[in-house]
Copies of this chain bind each other. A is one copy, B any other.
Amino acid sequence: MKKLNVGMVGYGFMGRTHSNAFRQVNHFFDLPYEPVLKTLCARNEARARSFAAQWGYDSVVTDWRALVDSPEIDLIDIASPNDTHAEIAIAAARAGKMVMCEKPLGRNAAEAEAMVAAVESAGVANSVWYNYRRVPAVTLAKKLIDEGRLGKIFHYRAKFLQDWTISADLPQGGTALWRLDINVAGSGVTGDLLAHCIDTALWLNGGIDQVTAMTETFIKERKHNLTGHVEKVGIDDASAFLARFRNGSLATFEATRYARGHKALYTLEINGEHASIFWDLHDLHRLQYFDHRDEGRLRGWRSIHITDGDHPYMKNWWVPGLQIGYEHTFIHQVADFLSGLAEGKTPGPTFRDALATDYVTDAVLRSAHSQQWEKVTSGTGAAA
């Protein structure tokens, strides 16, 4: 088993999920590579040391360039806020490192195009952590669609609902709340939550042709944690759009942080000629499946408990009936990435795959501004 030295940037929520994935993957999957938590990079050295100790990193640095420059590091994983993605990823690629990057790839498609260009011209393995593709129920959905089970697709429906920013007293910005800071995040729920919905949708249902969108910022001003002043809120609190896919299906997408009662309710539904699928992150271990080919009087939505050995990834875990959770999706992504390495292929979502999502989110934000239907363009061509 070959060691793969990981340099991690960031120790926040995503720093934890990624570190856990690297630590756990070899306990459950037989792989040709063993990731080693080599070096953690973060600006706050004290907190970085504490995190590194907890997860077993060998060393700590406070400037990500040290990772790029280190001959020991094989793979740089970017788990820091959105405004850091492009610069680090491009430098890492140029230094010949494999690069894994949190989503969204860039704050906009222009940033993402530059990142794609960098990894592709460097020829380095790359991946973006759109982890929901690797929920076993979602992976099974993909298989069913690819097998043609659903037939012609008529409808796609996705939403991602949260409720954690309803209070007007919540400030914006800083380490904990950078997702509310337009400069750091690039956008609000569009890049944060809708991007997940879009990535899965493009994977399951193909390309989106055009969109009409609306966004809203319910709380217009919030105290900024960095300046201490009340400042205009630049992000979108809610974002919804109608879309037409290239395969002729119609779609509705919605994301918000103002849906009281929902903490991370990412749901998706696909209606095909023969069968339909529904999935819900709040019960991520289940897939709802309806098949019109079942005997008439016995047709019904099947609640499939995705814990059997013949369900994707599940033979590597426990026994039927025993569910896994959120963090496992990251472990699956590492497992697939490492298997792919050995086979000389990079399983998606690659940087290029993630760029496609940025093209859609850009079109959504453009439409919300123009109040027109907008084509999903492939941008400047820089990454073509």
Q: Which A residues are within 8 Å of any B CB, using their own CB?
A: 13, 16-17, 19-20, 23-24, 26-27, 54-55, 140, 154-155, 157, 159, 161-164, 166, 212-214, 216, 218, 238, 240-242, 244, 248, 250, 252, 254, 256, 258-265, 271-276, 281-285, 287, 289-292, 294, 296-305, 307-308, 310-311, 317-328, 371-373
- Which of chain B's residues have a CB closer than 8 A to the CB of A318? 13, 16-17, 326-327
Contacts of A325 in B (CB 8 A): 285, 322-325, 328
Contact B244–A242 (Cβ < 8 Å): no
Q: Which residue of B lies closest to A289 (CB)?
A: B298
- A282 in contact with B305 (CB, 8 Å): yes
Contact partner of A320 among B24, B263, B290, B305, CB < 8 A?
A: B263
Give A327's nearest chain B residue, CB to CB.
B318
- Report the minimum CB–CB distance from A120 to chain B (whole Å): 33
Nearest B residue (CB) for A287: B300
CA distance A27 to B57 in the complex (A): 12
Min distance, Cβ A141 to any Cβ of chain B, angstroms: 11
Contacts of A297 in B (CB 8 A): 140, 304, 308, 310-311
Partner of A302, one of B263, B292, B299, B324: B299
Q: Chain B: which residue is nearest A307 at the CB level?
A: B263
Pick the contact of A216 from B23, B238, B250, B292 — CB < 8 Å? B250
| CB <8 Å contact, A155 and B327 | no
B264 x A320 contact (CB < 8 A): yes
Number of copies: 4
**Distance A212 CA – B367 CA, assembled complex (angstroms):** 11
29 contacting pairs across A/B (C-beta < 8 A) = A13-B318, A16-B318, A17-B318, A140-B297, A154-B258, A154-B260, A240-B250, A250-B256, A260-B276, A260-B290, A261-B276, A261-B292, A261-B301, A263-B305, A263-B319, A264-B321, A264-B322, A265-B321, A283-B283, A285-B325, A297-B310, A298-B304, A299-B308, A300-B302, A300-B304, A322-B326, A323-B326, A324-B327, A325-B325
- Whether A261 lies near B238 (C-beta < 8 A) is no
Are B244 and A320 in contact (CB-based, < 8 A)? no
